[in-house]
Amino acid sequence: MRFLVSIAILLISNSSIAGTASGQVTEIIAHTDGGNGHGVFMFYIEGQRDNTPPCSTVGGGKAWAMSLEKESGRAMYSLLLSAQAQGKTVSVFGRGNCDSWGDREEPHYINLIN
User: Is there a contact between 95 and 108 (Cβ–Cβ < 8 Å)?
Assistant: yes
Tell me: pLDDT of 14 over 50. Answer: no
The pLDDT of residue 4 is 40
- What's the confidence (pLDDT) of residue 17? 75
What digits encode the pLDDT tens for the residues 27-51? 999 998 766 678 999 999 998 899 9
Spatial strand order in the sheet of 40-50: 63-67, 40-50, 20-31, 89-94, 107-112
Distance (Å, rounded) from C-alpha 26 to C-alpha 93? Answer: 17
Residue, of 80 and 7, whose pLDDT is higher: 80
Domain ranges of the chain: 2-112
Regarding predicted confidence, which is higher, 38 or 107?
Answer: 107
pLDDT digits (tens, 9 = 90+) for 36-89: 678 999 999 998 899 999 999 999 889 999 999 999 999 999 999 999 999 999
Q: In CATH, what number does 2-112 get?
A: 2.40.50.110
Q: For position 3, what pLDDT does the model report?
A: 44
